[in-house]
Copies of this chain bind each other. A is one copy, B any other.
Amino acid sequence: MHRTYSLRSSRAPTNSQLQSPPPPTSTTKSGSLFGKSSLGNTFRKNAAGNFGPDLAKKLSQFVKMEKNVMRSIELVARERREVGKQLSLWGEDNDDDVSDVTDKLGVLIYEIGELEDQFIDKYDQYRLTLKSIRNIEASVQPSRERKQKITDEIAKLKYKEPNSPKIPVLEQELVRAEAESLVAEAQLSNITREKLKASFSYQFDAMRELAEKYALIAGYGKALLELLDDSPVTPGETRPAYDGYEASKQIIVDAENALGNWTLDSAAIKPTLSMRTTTGDVYSSDRQRIDDDDGDVYANDQELLHSAQGNNYSSQGNTANNNWPNEHSEQHDVPTNANGNGTANQHRPVEVV
């Protein structure tokens, strides 16, 4: 909020941004075919389920619906900034105390819009991470269908021509298809869980940041209101001169510092859990990077996944290769450090079948 006195000027990164670098700008922020209206939203939601393999339909629709949420938050953020400016504009014509307080309230409200804007970029990362589940779902379907098709063919042949030489060929083909399918299903199972956890973990962290910053702004806003001279005057009485400029400026500086210094580690609101079912602390205060055996730091969870899979599948021979469905490789992963606790237990030694 480096705009203590005006709504202009550029900004220094906050502590929370230093802790986890901000994601790229949300994809919804560029112009879109359907503009910003909810018309596009409705179309998008309804169209989403109509294409692609059955397996991925529900998730496709979910991902599109999240895009609608994002666009609506974007609308709120934009209108919030406009409201902040208009409040300041209205207050200008008023007495000194009202003018100063509304101007500073405008700064805080504008800041809410900015925070919502940053949240949108993170929400987009969450959404794009979910897309990788959709992609693996979509790529698993052909493998299931192929297995089913060969099984059906064998059954048909065995009924029509029980001695057909094609049967052993098809049976060999089925073994290969089953192996491929086993790998695909394992990938689906692993990626679904990993990405689900990573994406929501990221969303919840982003939400926690936005939420605590909202609450901070609300607090500083209330402090500003105290500067209003709201003791009633009688007709003809003039109010004492306003002397709150220093105080209001200081409140904005304090707010700026509080927002700038906020990090996930300093989060004040923690859930009270009556059962402790997991070893990992949900709100661990030491969010450490995870080192692998070489002492390297994993760049992101995608790399982590590849590495884990390398361990699992390399002994499977050629059938269980590491070929990813690259036609679906739109892998937008959450930035480094996004899911500090989430990925740690992927490092437990896994058995090789």
Interface, chain A (partner B; CB < 8 A): 36-39, 41, 45, 55, 58-59, 61-62, 65-66, 68-69, 72-73, 75-76, 79-80, 82-83, 86-87, 89-90, 93-95, 97-98, 101-102, 105, 179, 182-183, 185-186, 189-190, 192-194, 196-197, 200-201, 203-205, 207-208, 210-212, 214-223, 225-237, 239, 244, 246-247, 250-251, 253-255, 257-258, 267-275, 277-278, 280, 282-283, 305, 308-309, 312-313, 316, 320, 342-343, 345-346, 348, 350-353
Contacts and interface: CB of A to CB of B under 8 A. Distances in A.
Contacts of A212: 211, 215, 269
Contact of A218 (B62, B207, B222): B207
Given A216-B271, A220-B271, 15 more contacts: A37-B37, A41-B79, A62-B87, A193-B230, A194-B230, A197-B225, A201-B225, A207-B215, A215-B215, A215-B267, A230-B343, A232-B350, A235-B316, A235-B353, A244-B277
Contacts of A200: 105, 221-222, 225
Nearest to A75: B72
Contacts of A225: 196-197, 200-201, 204, 342
A236 B271 contact: no
Contacts of A39: 37
A269 B219 contact: yes
Given A212-B269, A236-B186, A58 B79 contact: no
Contacts of A237: 186, 351, 353
Nearest to A45: B82
A41 to B, nearest CB: 8
A186 B225 CA distance: 20
